[in-house]
Structure formats: C-alpha cells, structure tokens
C-alpha cells in the first residue's frame, strides 16, 4: 500500500488526524464547573512548554472557545475543492469551533444525530497538521458528543473537571464511569473553585465545600492533578479573550495551570511508554 493511501480514509479524503500524537478530552459531568476555562488555559500552557497544540471546541450547543481565545466573529478559511477547513490560530494554538461557523448569539437547535455529524466533521475536515496535543473541550454530560469522540478517534485520556460541590461530584463520577466503559483512561481530576481567597484579607473560604475531588480520586484510583481557587482575574481574562496563563503569566493562578500542563504531559508520556513496552503476542 502506498503512503498516500495509508494517509487517506475510506472515502479518499485525507486523514487530518494522522499528524496528531495525543488527543486529550477535557470533560465534566456537569456544566458551569469551569471546564472550558481549564481547556483553554491547559492548551496555552502546553504551548508555553514548547509543544505544538490544537484546541477543538466540541461543545456544539454552547461553544465558548471563540470568545475565550479572542477570536469572536472570525471565520476559518475553507478549501472548497477538498471541503476542508484551515484552523484559526491565536497565542500560537490552532483552534476550531462550531462557533466560528455560526453567529455568536445563534441557538443550535439540533437533535443528537446532527450533533454527532457536526462533531465528526470538526474532527475529520480540519487540516490540523502536525500536533503534539489536541485538546478537546467537551460538552457537559455523557451523551452523543462523548460517544462520537470515543468511537471516531483514539483518545489518549481525559482530564475530568469538577468543583468540590456534591452535585458536581455526582455528575463527574458518571463522566469517569462512561469513559471507563469505552476504555479511555482518566489522567486526573481538576478541582475548580476549590476555595475562595479574599482579595482584601487573604482569608481562604471553601464556599463550595472541600475534599470532594480527593475522595473521588481515591474511589477511581486516580489523582487530583490541580486545585484552582475561585478568582476574579481568571474569569475576567477568559471574558476578555486572553486566558490568564497568557495575560498574567507570573500570577499564582497562571502557574497552577502551567503545573497542570506539566502533570498532564508527564502522565501522557508515562502512558505512551507503557504502550510501547507491551510485548506483541505472536499468533
């Protein structure tokens, strides 16, 4: 088989995922826990570590990556002949989102099969090129998008995002269990809004409870790989389209995200080494 055929899919279209070494899903069982904030800061932090990074917004109903990465209203270039998109780029991270293809205020009133089809196109019809990491910002829940991603690509692992709140932890547990059933390893849990630190007196308050992510990590034999406090600057930078790791790289919170990126890289490297060390059984 020739090289050109090896790099094409059954319908003769280029396999645009062939140059991606690792695909990481950033997921949560529940919305509003800071999943997209985690995804954008993780992607930019990985780039700051010298890696080639892409960021795919798979949240079809609520795409937030265009706003959080400072590219609202922009449209990707299209290769009409091959029906392929070229990803946009900011902060040296390649980006694609359904939000680049529809109006920012347009409601996506789609049934499940349409969501699955759109996600499949975002995966296969984007010329990502060579990447060390593709970070996928998943929608909340355990539905069509999660199943489509698990079936269409070989996920390296997931980063699960939650708050310490019991309700968020219940849904995060379901998310971990779903990925386990499709044989995708959990790299670790990010506990967002772990505490509130008063900007005036410096006192720490666990307003969303505490210790929940640690208990959940023990239950599933994984790790809490970051605890990110509730902070106004993180929110403001995201709204301004300039994630905190880029806007305020010397801040305490930016350094937490950079450490998260290092931890994710270490865990992925360990997983990949284990895969290489597994002996091939002879027939």
CATH number at residue 122: 3.40.50.300
Q: What is the pLDDT of residue 201?
A: 73
Question: Is 117 contained in some domain?
Answer: yes
Question: Is 3 contained in some domain?
Answer: no
Question: Is 225 contained in some domain?
Answer: yes
Query: What is the domain extent for residue 96?
Result: 14-277
Question: Is 282 contained in some domain?
Answer: no
Q: What is the pLDDT of residue 240?
A: 94
Q: Nearest 5°: CA angle at 78, between 73 and 79?
A: 175
Our count of domains for the chain comes to 1
Instruction: Print pLDDT tens along the chain (283 aa).
Output: 444 444 444 444 448 889 999 999 999 988 889 999 999 999 999 999 999 999 999 888 889 999 999 999 899 998 878 789 999 999 999 999 988 987 667 777 777 778 788 888 888 899 999 999 999 999 887 777 888 888 888 899 999 999 888 888 889 999 999 999 999 999 999 999 887 776 777 777 776 667 788 999 999 999 999 999 988 899 999 999 999 999 999 999 999 999 999 999 999 999 999 888 766 554 4
Contact at 8 Å (CB) between 25 and 158?
yes
User: pTM for this one?
Assistant: 0.88
Question: Is 283 contained in some domain?
Answer: no
- SS3 state at 21: strand
Question: Is 5 contained in some domain?
Answer: no
Pairing of strands 186-197, 224-230: parallel
- Residue 57 tokens read as 């917004």
Pairing of strands 77-79, 84-86: antiparallel
Q: Residue 14's CB: how many other CB atoms inside 10 A? A: 15
Q: What is the pLDDT of residue 15?
A: 81
Q: What is the pLDDT of residue 184?
A: 93
Radius of gyration of the chain (CA): 19
Question: Is 40 contained in some domain?
Answer: yes
Q: Residue 171's CB: how many other CB atoms inside 10 A? A: 18
Question: Is 180 contained in some domain?
Answer: yes
Distances from the Cα of 127 to the Cαs of 42, 77, 86, 155, in angstroms? Answer: 22, 11, 5, 18
Q: Residue 50's CB: how many other CB atoms inside 10 A? A: 8
Distances from the Cα of 235 to the Cαs of 36, 105, 140, 257, 282, in angstroms? Answer: 11, 20, 19, 14, 54
Q: Residue 173's CB: how many other CB atoms inside 10 A? A: 16
């Amino acid at each position: 088989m020739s090289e050109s055929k090896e790099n094409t899919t059954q319908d003769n279209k280029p396999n645009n995922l062939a140059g991606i070494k690792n695909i990481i899903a950033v997921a949560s069982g529940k919305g509003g826990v800071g999943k997209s904030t985690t995804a954008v800061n993780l992607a930019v932090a990985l780039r700051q570590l010298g890696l080639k990074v892409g960021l795919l917004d798979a949240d079809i109903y609520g795409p937030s990556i265009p706003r959080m990465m400072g590219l609202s209203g922009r449209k990707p270039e299209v290769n009409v002949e091959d029906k392929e998109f070229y990803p946009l780029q900011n902060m040296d991270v390649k980006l694609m989102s359904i939000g680049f293809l529809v109006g920012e205020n347009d409601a996506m009133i789609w049934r499940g099969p349409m969501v699955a089809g759109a996600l499949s196109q975002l995966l296969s019809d984007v010329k990502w090129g060579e990447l060390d990491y593709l970070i996928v910002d998943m929608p909340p829940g355990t539905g069509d998008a999660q199943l489509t991603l698990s079936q269409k690509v070989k996920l390296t692992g997931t980063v699960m995002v939650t708050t310490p709140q019991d309700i968020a932890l219940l849904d995060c547990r379901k998310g971990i269990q779903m990925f386990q059933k499709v044989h995708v390893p959990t790299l670790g849990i990010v506990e967002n809004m772990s505490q509130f630190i008063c900007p005036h007196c410096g006192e720490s308050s666990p307003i969303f409870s505490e210790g929940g992510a640690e208990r959940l990590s023990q239950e599933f034999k994984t790790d809490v790989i970051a605890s990110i406090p509730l902070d106004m600057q993180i929110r403001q930078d995201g709204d301004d389209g300039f994630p905190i790791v880029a806007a305020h790289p010397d801040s305490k919170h930016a350094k937490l995200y950079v450490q998260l990126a290092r931890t994710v890289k270490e865990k992925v490297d360990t997983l990949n080494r284990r895969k290489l060390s597994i002996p091939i059984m002879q027939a």
